[in-house]
Structure 1
Amino acid sequence: MTTTPPAPSPVEETPTAPAPLLSADDLHITFPGRRGAPGARAVDGVDLDIAPGEIVALVGESGCGKTTLARSLLGLVAPTSGRVTFDGAPLDYSGRALKRYRKRAQLVLQDPSGSLNPRHTVYDAVAEGLRIHRYPGDERAAVSQALSRAGLRPPERFFLRYPHEMSGGQRQRVVIAGALALEPELIVADEPVASLDASVRGEILALFLRLRDELGLSALVVTHDLGLAWNIADRVAVMYLGRIVESGRVEQVLTSPRHPYTQALLSVLPEAPGEPVVLAGEPPDPSRIPGGCRFHARCQVLASGEAAAAGVADDCRTKDLPVLAGGQTAQVACHWAERTAHSGRP
């Protein structure tokens, strides 16, 4: 009598992360210098992924390259090298292809007053993208839906208003409605609440979260404010002098920052414990990026002797750090952070 061997138990599969909607792969953007001077390396090697339905905050002080990176991801600035991939396909910089891409990826600028033509009504401002892309459906219905999604209800009440007749928060909602009218998959928002009163900022941030939950929108939010990142982002990427120096889930990066630059940015928040870290000097000239860690000339850990105690002071000054990979895992580009993590020191 033969017995049938038992069926093998099913192997439990590890869930895989969804393919990114938008990716930057080893992206470099160099602006030529004047009269033979070295070029300014505004973006100097960046890998960044944004998953479907994910909000990523790109954080850093003024001049770090975050706006240039954001504009490149939208096809507004062609990279010197590297590539941008959207929905699995490399970005095509021909005029017709970029026009198709901009139906799927929209920009929201910092200053709504500068974004809106003062001679155009709200209706015309929101309908502009529909007309450029020859929207085949009911234009009035599409404008109404976009205004409603942006929180301007009833939408018909706003059709004939001009920008000067609205508050700053309402104008920003009109800009967002113009982006939503084409039903994009991705929004890139450059300092979307920087020009607004504190009482209105929370409403606009809540709007972005609601749009993500209801429409599955992805977003890259460019900001210098880590507090904003905490309130809105799923992941955060911290940028310094053309490179991302720390990235990960927002809870990981903002509650246990590993890079001294991230620690310094967090230290100046009102609720931060201890004394704020005042960084010495200004960021280096992007046309003359120093060797070693590009933050070392301003690093409070190197200046205090902690890096020397960990045995990495020379590395900080002379040994370059690799470009952080894209993806969801927490990463840091810092000799001291890596050494202390491996040694178990705090």
Structure 2
Amino acid sequence: MTTTPAPSAPPVPAPLLSAAGLSVTFPGRRGAAPARAVDGVDLDIAPGEIVALVGESGCGKTTLARSLLGLVAPTAGQVAFAGAPLGYGARDLKAYRRRVQLVLQDPSGSLNPRHTVYDAVAEGLRIHGHQGDERAAVAEALARAGLRPPERFFLRYPHELSGGQRQRVVIAGALVLEPELIIADEPVASLDASVRGEILALLLSLRDELGLSALVVTHDLGLAWNIADRVAVMYLGRIVETGPVEDVLTAPQHPYTQALLSVLPESDAAPVVLTGEPPDPSRIPQGCRFHVRCQVLASGAAERAGVADRCRTAPLPVLTGGAGAQVACHAATTAPTATE
């Protein structure tokens, strides 16, 4: 009797953008210890994938995004794009930034008030010496960003547009170079609630229509739920939990993720109020770097589970950049046991 072989799992695509052991350390002022803003991060973004990088202000997520863009050179580790290490020479970075574009938080600050919409979108083409039909490329980018008919916006200035329209112009300026990945830093934080959904829907449609990958930097886990395929939760320079958005946001393992989720309006959990601010990145605590604010440790639950001493003294490993759910927490049921 012949048997039919079991179907093999589909191959996992190679990451489009990856960081391995990435660290960014800033010198201390007046003899202070160096600040480890990003401290050994592994992160992968696959082709056509949207990853949300989530955390409080000061956790290092913007510094990580800037390092991934090549705007800040890492102190240690490596960024690779399409399998090739990122070079930091002027020519390498110029070629890289044609393929990876930045969308900033505040469209008013991103747009020169003296430039028309046409000039704002065409600027990237001119920097990179575009040889094709500039007018057609600008019109196509504006249309893809939802500004139709695009010619109606060519001669307008930023002050003549709504906040949502200005953000669409910023997105069009990124799209005009036909990038493979965009890094969006709080792309809807400055917009009214009624407009936020439209911009998020636009980013999703760009992923579906163009195969565009995105890293969306945000403090809002609700935004991550609405747009991301995967989420990476960052605290004090490290990724502390990562995985498919459904896994992380419906069954969070790390107390920090649980606390962030508890304050969402739609959450059924009792709000968790974290004590104090995140520690200074120049004075990272021993053991789990969250333990000084951890509600599981403060409640005695970690003591009852027999992990309190480890929480205070035992370091946790750097999470790998893979696609599966991972957590760096001594008290979590799926926590890794290796140390860094």
TM-score by length of 1: 0.95
Rounded Cα–Cα distance in structure 2 between residues aligned with 1:257 and 1:18: 26
List structure 1 runs of 4+ shifted beyond 3 angstroms: 6-12, 338-342
Secondary structure at 1:227 match in 2: helix
Secondary structure at 2:172 match in 1: helix
Structure 1 residue aligned with 2:176: 181
Structure 2 residue aligned with 1:3: none
What is the Cα deviation at residue 152 of structure 1?
0.1
In 2, are the aligned partners of 1:310 and 1:340 still within 8 Å (CA)?
A: no
Give the one of 33, 45, 49 matched to 1:50: 45
What are the Cα deviations for residues 115-147 of structure 1, in whole angstroms up to 9, with x where unaligned? Answer: 000000000000000000001100000000000
Q: How does 1:121-140 map to 2 (within 5 A)?
A: 121-140=116-135
What is the Cα deviation at residue 8 of structure 1?
8.4
What is the Cα deviation at residue 37 of structure 1?
1.4
What is the Cα deviation at residue 327 of structure 1?
1.1
Give the one of 85, 95, 115 matched to 1:90: 85
Q: 1:308 to 1:85 in 2, by over 3 A?
A: same
Give the one of 309, 315, 321 matched to 1:320: 315
1:242 aligns with 2:219: no
Rounded Cα–Cα distance in structure 2 between residues aligned with 1:302 and 1:105: 41
What is the Cα deviation at residue 16 of structure 1?
2.0
The structure with more radius of gyration = 1
TM-score by length of 2: 0.97
In 2, are the aligned partners of 1:31 and 1:41 still within 8 Å (CA)?
A: yes
Structure 2 residue aligned with 1:69: 64
Q: 1:338 to 1:10 in 2, by over 3 A?
A: closer
What is the Cα deviation at residue 12 of structure 1?
3.5
Give the one of 215, 226, 231 matched to 1:220: 215
Rounded Cα–Cα distance in structure 1 between residues aligned with 2:95 and 2:269: 50
Structure 1 residue aligned with 2:111: 116
Rounded Cα–Cα distance in structure 1 between residues aligned with 2:16 and 2:293: 35
Rounded Cα–Cα distance in structure 1 between residues aligned with 2:335 and 2:283: 29
What is the Cα deviation at residue 338 of structure 1?
3.4
Secondary structure at 2:112 match in 1: coil
Q: 1:73 to 1:302 in 2, by over 3 A?
A: same
Q: 1:331 to 1:339 in 2, by over 3 A?
A: closer
Rounded Cα–Cα distance in structure 1 between residues aligned with 2:7 and 2:262: 43
Give the one of 139, 150, 154 matched to 1:155: 150
What are the Cα deviations for residues 239-264 of structure 1, in whole angstroms up to 9, with x where unaligned? Answer: 00000000000000000000000000
Rounded Cα–Cα distance in structure 2 between residues aligned with 1:276 and 1:57: 22
Unaligned runs of 5+ in 1: 1-5
Q: 1:162 to 1:297 in 2, by over 3 A?
A: same
Rounded Cα–Cα distance in structure 2 between residues aligned with 1:288 and 1:277: 24
Letter in 1 for 2:54: V
In 1, are the aligned partners of 2:23 and 2:75 still within 8 Å (CA)?
A: yes
Rounded Cα–Cα distance in structure 1 between residues aligned with 2:202 and 2:294: 37
1:296 aligns with 2:288: no
In 2, are the aligned partners of 1:293 and 1:319 still within 8 Å (CA)?
A: yes
Rounded Cα–Cα distance in structure 2 between residues aligned with 1:14 and 1:143: 42
1:202 aligns with 2:179: no
Identity %: 81
What are the Cα deviations for residues 270-322 of structure 1, in whole angstroms up to 9, with x where unaligned? Answer: 01113210001110000000000000000000000010111000000000000
What are the Cα deviations for residues 137-185 of structure 1, in whole angstroms up to 9, with x where unaligned? Answer: 0000000000000000000000000000000000000000000000000
What is the Cα deviation at residue 13 of structure 1?
2.4
1:334 aligns with 2:334: no
